[in-house]
């Protein structure tokens, strides 16, 4: 195996490790709380948490579009086909970071993460704006601007979740909104601000981790990747910066 292939494997391992990260010391049930922000009697948004299975971006989009959380491979294949055909000439090696035929094979691997390239492709294919909020910075990046419909995704730094709407009775109505609905946008902004205040994001610059298998403390994603490679452990939790040493 060449050194470049080894580096690529290390990067992939790092991404997989980061995807498994969850708030330390909290149970699964507690981490799956639902937050409602009511603007009027007919306008409520809430967070829909998506499984951390390396396809959270695709499954978040799938949930918003038609309530599915198993659309990962379907959307991966759509991206692969668009890039392989490259009808608009956009998807070059310079843009993709690797030769197109390699990228096509790469994105079809369920262990690989999706990101900006996939949101650009899927927004155009689905004819929907994809508004991705960073919980850390509270900033929104809009993909596919100009479509009449919009979905909202929340990015924690390592994971994507979906925003959905629900009625007063709790009946869930999906996650597709009108792109010009300012009440929904304001409600989503409130949701993001609340999550930010609760520190529901991971700062990749220098965060501390603990292996949830052997409880070893680690510093940063490189240490975590090395630990996983040496031990096979792949479940990590973030250690709060306020925790006493």
Q: What is the CATH number of the domain that holds 162?
A: 3.90.70.80
The confidence score (pLDDT) of residue 210 equals 76
User: What share of the chain in percent tops pLDDT 90?
Assistant: 51
Q: What is the mean pLDDT of residues 145-168?
A: 88
Residues 152 and 208 in one domain: no
Residues 131 and 81 in one domain: yes
Residues 72 and 185 in one domain: yes
The confidence score (pLDDT) of residue 218 equals 76
What residues make up the domain containing 135?
Answer: 24-197
The confidence score (pLDDT) of residue 206 equals 61
| 28 vs 215: which has the higher pLDDT | 215
Please report how many Cα atoms fall inside a 13 Å half-sphere around the Cα of residue 212, on the Cβ side.
16
Lowest mean pLDDT among 10-19, 54-63, 73-82: 10-19
Catalytic residue of the set 8, 43, 53, 223: 53
Residue 36 · residue 158 · CB < 8 Å = no
Lowest mean pLDDT among 93-107, 154-168, 230-244: 230-244
- The DSSP bridge partners found for residue 218 are 209
d(CA 53, CA 15): 11
Residues 101 and 211 in one domain: no
Give, for 174, the enclosing helix (H) or strand (E).
none
The confidence score (pLDDT) of residue 201 equals 80
Residues 71 and 170 in one domain: yes
pTM of the model: 0.71
Catalytic residue of the set 64, 159, 161, 227: 159
The confidence score (pLDDT) of residue 91 equals 96
In the three-class reduction of DSSP (H, G, I as helix; E, B as strand; rest coil), residue 196 is classed as helix
User: What share of the chain in percent tops pLDDT 70?
Assistant: 67
Whether 33 shows a pLDDT value over 50: the answer reads no
- The per-residue pLDDT for range 79-118, each reduced to its tens digit, is 999 999 999 899 999 999 999 999 999 999 998 889 999 9
Residue 237 · residue 212 · CB < 8 Å = yes
Contacting residues for 171 by C-beta, under 8 A, at least 6 apart: none
Residues 155 and 102 in one domain: yes
Q: Estimate to the nearest angstrom the gap between the alpha carbon of 209 and the chain centroid.
A: 19
Of how many residues is the chain composed?
245
The confidence score (pLDDT) of residue 42 equals 36
Residues 28 and 17 in one domain: no
Residues 49 and 6 in one domain: no
Measured at the CA of 16, the angle between CA 134 and CA 58, to 5 degrees, comes to: 55
Other CB atoms within 10 Å distance of the CB of residue 141 = 14
Whether 241 shows a pLDDT value over 80: the answer reads no
d(CA 172, CA 35): 14
Any catalytic annotation for residue 159?
A: yes
How many structural domains are present in the chain?
2
Residues 61 and 165 in one domain: yes
Whether 70 shows a pLDDT value over 70: the answer reads yes
The confidence score (pLDDT) of residue 167 equals 52
Residues 16 and 116 in one domain: no
Whether 127 shows a pLDDT value over 90: the answer reads yes
Residues 60 and 110 in one domain: yes
Residues 215 and 105 in one domain: no
- The DSSP bridge partners found for residue 210 are 217, 237
Catalytic residue of the set 56, 64, 161, 227: 56
d(CA 108, CA 80): 7
Any catalytic annotation for residue 53?
A: yes
Other CB atoms within 10 Å distance of the CB of residue 148 = 10
């Amino acid at each position: 195996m060449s050194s470049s292939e080894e580096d690529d494997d290390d990067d992939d391992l790092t991404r997989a490790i980061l995807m498994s990260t969850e708030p330390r010391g909290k149970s699964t049930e507690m981490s799956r709380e639902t937050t409602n922000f009511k603007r009027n009697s007919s306008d409520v948004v809430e967070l829909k948490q998506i499984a951390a299975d390396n396809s959270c971006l695709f499954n978040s989009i799938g949930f918003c579009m038609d309530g599915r959380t198993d659309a990962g491979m379907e959307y991966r294949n759509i991206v692969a086909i668009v890039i392989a055909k490259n009808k608009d000439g956009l998807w070059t090696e310079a843009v993709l970071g690797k030769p197109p035929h390699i990228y096509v094979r790469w994105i079809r691997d369920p262990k690989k993460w999706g990101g900006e390239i996939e949101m650009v492709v899927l927004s155009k294919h689905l004819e929907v704006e994809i508004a991705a909020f960073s919980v850390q910075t509270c900033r929104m990046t809009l993909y596919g601007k100009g479509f009449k419909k919009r979905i909202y995704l929340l990015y924690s730094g390592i994971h994507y979740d979906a925003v959905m709407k629900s009625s007063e009775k709790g009946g869930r109505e999906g996650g597709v909104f009108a792109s010009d609905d300012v009440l929904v946008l304001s409600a989503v902004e409130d949701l993001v601000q609340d999550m930010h205040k609760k520190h529901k994001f991971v700062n990749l610059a220098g965060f501390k981790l603990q292996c949830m298998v052997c409880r070893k403390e680690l510093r940063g994603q490189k240490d975590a990747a090395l630990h996983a490679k040496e031990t096979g452990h792949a479940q990590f939790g973030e250690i709060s910066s306020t925790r006493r040493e």
